[in-house]
Amino acid sequence: MKRRLLLMLPLLGFLLLLLFLYLGLGLNPFHRESRLVEEARAFPAFELTTLEDPERRVDESLIPGQVTLVNVWGEWCPECKREMPQLLDLADRGVRLVGINWKDTRDKARGFLDEFGDPFEVNLFDPEGELAFELGVYGAPESFLVDRDGIIRYHHTGYISPSDLREHILPEVEKWQ
């Protein structure tokens, strides 16, 4: 009897593996809750230069005051190009946008904005990814909606599609206005 149970262990291990694979395949890889949102954390402290002016240093005091969509982007990111029309639409609607240019060079990033438009009030230059690391970013584009008090209220992973804009981003902006 004991020997039969030992022979069944590989089968049980295989069935457990199948169960985990089945559960994993049902998950949306673009949906993950950020601990920053779950815990209603304040936007992390930082001090970076702006993309436009290497002499201008800004810190976290830039963020509070009005609802702000903080978008992490890079010239090297094809999805960032795809979402730029939606970001320009948000800026046209009066939503404040702050960009975090992540792991890029100033020349390439400026060329990107010249080609695709610049919806951002300010672009933070984060070539080493320090602020992106604090935000838990693992790929661009990612966006964080921050309320007037500087609390992160919504996190969007990946490209903002036109339907994401209508169904998620704009309702969240209205909710926190």
Task: Give the separation between CA 118 and CA 150, rounded to whole angstroms.
Answer: 23
CB neighbours of 149 closer than 8 A, spacing ≥ 6?
A: 42, 64
Q: Which residue has the tokens 């022979």?
A: 7
Written as tens digits, the pLDDT of the chain (177 aa) is 777 777 788 888 888 888 777 776 665 555 556 677 777 789 999 999 999 999 999 999 999 999 999 999 999 999 999 999 999 999 999 999 999 999 999 999 999 999 999 999 999 999 999 999 999 998 899 999 999 999 999 999 999 999 999 999 999 999 998
Task: Give the separation between CA 111 and CA 115, rounded to whole angstroms.
Answer: 6
- DSSP H or E segment with residue 174: helix 170-176
Structural tokens at position 51:
């993309």
| E strands, the chain, in order | 47-50, 57-59, 68-73, 96-102, 122-126, 142-146, 152-157
Task: Give the separation between CA 62 and CA 166, rounded to whole angstroms.
Answer: 27
